[in-house]
Structures are given as structure tokens and as C-alpha cells.
Amino acid sequence: KPPPGISVDPLRIVAHELKFLTKNIRKLLGSGHPMLDKVAKYYTRCAGKHVRPMLVLLMSRATRNPHTPTPASIPVSDPISSPMVLSDNNPDMGPLTAPFLDAQYELSDDMEILPAQRRLAEITELIHTASLLHDDVIDSAITRRSTTSANLQFGNKMAVLAGDFLLGRASVALARLRNPEVTELLSTVVANLVEGEFMQLKNTAQDEPNPMFTEDTITYYLQKTYLKSASLISKSCRAAAVLSNSTPEIVDAAYAYGRNLGLAFQLVDDILDYTISADELGKPAGADLELGLATAPLLFAWKQNAELGALVGRKFCQEGDVERAQEIVARSDGVEQTRALAQEYAEKAIGALRDIPESEAKDGLIKMCEKATKRRK
Ligand code: FPP
Ligand code: MG
Ligand code: MG
């Protein structure tokens, strides 16, 4: 503990863990097929923000239950670090699965985090990265994490298959946690991601050429945003608390924290698409309108200017639509209203932590809320 009056960055307590995270993820993704091995590990080479695993690790520490045995007292045969239960002797599979099955699990020396919670952190990053591989195909993105996107580098087919492979390996790792509640939570996330993406294909609840802004417009957007972005964060925070053997109240608090932070996080993402250059973002900027997507800044502008209805209806596809929409949003207070809403959710996230005992990890969770609203990337 630091001497009183000296503040340390609460996120430093998990920074050490993150070094193990990428290494372990790369092991989980090993394939004897050299090309698959390469494509599957492609996005792990670049510096992602690791927001989701960081939240899982912080929540794991913050909900640390003194009655749960520490890793040291877990028998060596614990299902996470023991050899794979799946047979690797299937002749039909050839050598393809070998590297994964040989993977030794690397543990850091942080006794406050259970091995299962560390694995959960890796699983959340795997699911997230799989969704990015698929998302970049759907969005025809050319950059991601400041590098060429996987779809551009290897083609759509390999990018989609690599995403599926990540989900497959995430599923095996999940099964090995031997916790049906956690398995159910993270499997639901995969379905939610697809549901959110489907809602986004439609943009609004009304499928017509000249939709009107109604109260449902924002509700639909927030539901889509929950499914697409907040579901993974909220359910993985919940799963971290479940693995800590937390009381139902603490499990619910972890979920509420993740849900509100996840919504704040995506609202800020939607702002950045309007306000930050592609260079700084490391991925295309202004991409949402080009993709026909109406996000929060535009929806708030639409509330004040009905002209946007026709543009939303035709997904900004006519010449000059994107520029016109940008102009209307810039003249409105759509960005400010979105920022205020993000701030509201971030505060709700912090409020959700009230029954979690004070700790450095809890300070880290609070700090994540501040970072989420202030970020430029
Ligand atoms: C990024 O959004 C994408 C997501 C948060 C989820 C995408 C989900 C799918 C493609 C569903 C299928 C995938 C799986 C793994 C089940 P964005 O395009 O708004 O953000 P960006 O600017 O980062 O591309
Ligand atoms: Mg995208
Ligand atoms: Mg997308």
C-alpha cells in the first residue's frame, strides 16, 4: 500500500496482468495450419486498449471474496491449467489442433485474481476480437488498430473464418471454466452481438422512406447499443463477480456497472466518429454516416431538424447526403447532448459500485469511467 497522501494509478495494479494476457491469448489461438495461425493472431499483434479484460480483472479484484480459495490452494488439477480434456488424437484432425492442446497456462503472481477470472479476461478479449474481424468485413473497413484491417490483408473469407476460429477457441476455454452460469452469460453475449448488429442494419424501428423522430428512436438506438457494445462488458463484469462467489447483490452491482459503462463507452465512440480524425482513431472516421448509420449525435440533431428523416430513411446514400447530415449535426447540439448522456451513464456506473467495499481495484473501476468519457481513441 502506498504511504498516505501518495496516489498511485489504480490501473497499474492490473497492468502487470495484461502482459500475460496477450501471451496466453496467442497460445489459445495456436493452430497447426500456418495460414490460419497467422490470420487468427493478426489483431493480437497490435496494441488494443484491452478495455474488456481490464474491467474483468479489476472487477475480479474488487469483488475478491476472502472465502474463495486463492489460486495457491486450488489443486494442481484445476480444470484451467490441466491438459485439455478434448482428444487431440483424432486422425481426421491431423496436426491442426496440437499447438493449442500443448499450451501451458502462464500465471502471474497476483493472488487476488483467480485463474478462472484471468481466463475469463482472455475469453472476453477473444470474443471482442472475433466481433471486430466480422465487423470489419461487414463494414468493409480498411484499417483497424492503426494497421491494415484483416479483411483487406487476407480477404473476407479468411477474416470471417478467423473470427469463427476465435469464437471456437473462446468456447473451449469457456467450457473449461466448468461454470454453467458463466458459460451461459458469455454465450448469450455472442448471440447479443449478432442481435445488435441486425438491429443496426435497420437503423430505426420504423422501416420506411421518411421516418419521423419519436420517443422510440432513442429507445431503439439504446437497445441496439446495449446489445452491440454493453452486453459483453456488463455480462463479463457479472461473470467476474460470479467467479468471486459474490452475493446476488454484488453480482447485480457488477452487471449494472458494466451495463452503464458499456453504454457510456459506445456513446463516446459515436461522438468520436464525428469529432476525431482517422489518424488519431487508428480506424476510419466519419465512417458511420458513410455506412448509412444514424448514431446518437445525429438522432439528437434529428429531434430538432425533421429534414434528417428523409436522409436516415435512405441511409445517406444520395450524393451530398453525408455532407448535409454532417452540417446539420455540426449546427445542432447533438454532440453535446450525446456527451451529457454518456456522462450520465458513467455516473450511474460509478453509483452502481456503492456496495462494493473500498479497494484499489474499485478505484480502478471508477477511473475506467472517467477514462471512458475523456478518451479520444
Ligand atoms: C464494432 O462496431 C462492432 C461491434 C461492437 C460488434 C460487431 C458484431 C458483429 C459483427 C456480430 C457478429 C460477431 C460475433 C463475433 C458474434 P462499429 O463498426 O460501430 O465500430 P468500429 O468503428 O470499431 O468498426
Ligand atoms: Mg466497424
Ligand atoms: Mg460495425
For residue 287, which atom of ligand 1 is closest to its CA?
22
Q: Cα dist. 290→11, 153, 294, 320, 321 in Å?
A: 36, 22, 10, 11, 9
Find out whether the beta carbon of 131 lies less than 6 Å from any atom of ligand 1.
Answer: yes
Find out whether the beta carbon of 284 lies less than 6 Å from any atom of ligand 1.
Answer: no
Give the pLDDT confidence of 25-84 residue by residue, as tens digits.
999 998 888 999 999 999 998 877 899 999 999 999 999 877 665 544 433 333 333 334
For residue 194, which atom of ligand 1 is closest to its CA?
11
Picking from 31, 33, 181, the residue whose alpha carbon sits closest to that of residue 103 is 31
For residue 293, which atom of ligand 1 is closest to its CA?
19
Q: How far is the CA of 135 from the centre of ligand 3 (A)?
A: 5
Q: What is the CA radius of gyration of the chain?
A: 21
Alpha helices (H) in 203-304, listed in sequence order: 215-225, 231-243, 248-275, 278-281, 287-290, 296-304
Q: How far is the CA of 360 from the centre of ligand 3 (A)?
A: 35
Find out whether the beta carbon of 283 lies less than 6 Å from any atom of ligand 1.
Answer: yes
319 CB-near residues (< 8 Å, 6+ apart): none
Q: How confident is the model at residue 86 (pLDDT cuts 50, 70, 90)?
A: very low
Average per-residue pLDDT for the chain? 86
Give the pLDDT confidence of 220-250 residue by residue, as tens digits.
999 999 999 999 999 999 999 999 999 999 9
Q: How far is the CA of 59 from the centre of ligand 1 (A)?
A: 24
Give the pLDDT confidence of 327-347 residue by residue, as tens digits.
999 999 999 999 999 999 999
Find out whether the beta carbon of 229 lies less than 6 Å from any atom of ligand 1.
Answer: yes
Ligand 1 site-directed mutation target among 49, 134, 135, 298, most atoms within 8 Å of CB: 135
Whole-angstrom distance, CA of residue 56 vs CA of residue 53: 5
Contact (Cβ atoms closer than 8 angstroms) between residue 176 and residue 85: yes
Collapse the DSSP code of 29 into the 3-class scheme (helix H, G, I; strand E, B; otherwise coil) and give the result. coil
Please tell me whether the interface predicted TM-score (ipTM) of this complex is above 0.85: yes
Residue nearest to atom 11 of ligand 1 (CA): 194
For residue 166, which atom of ligand 1 is closest to its CA?
15
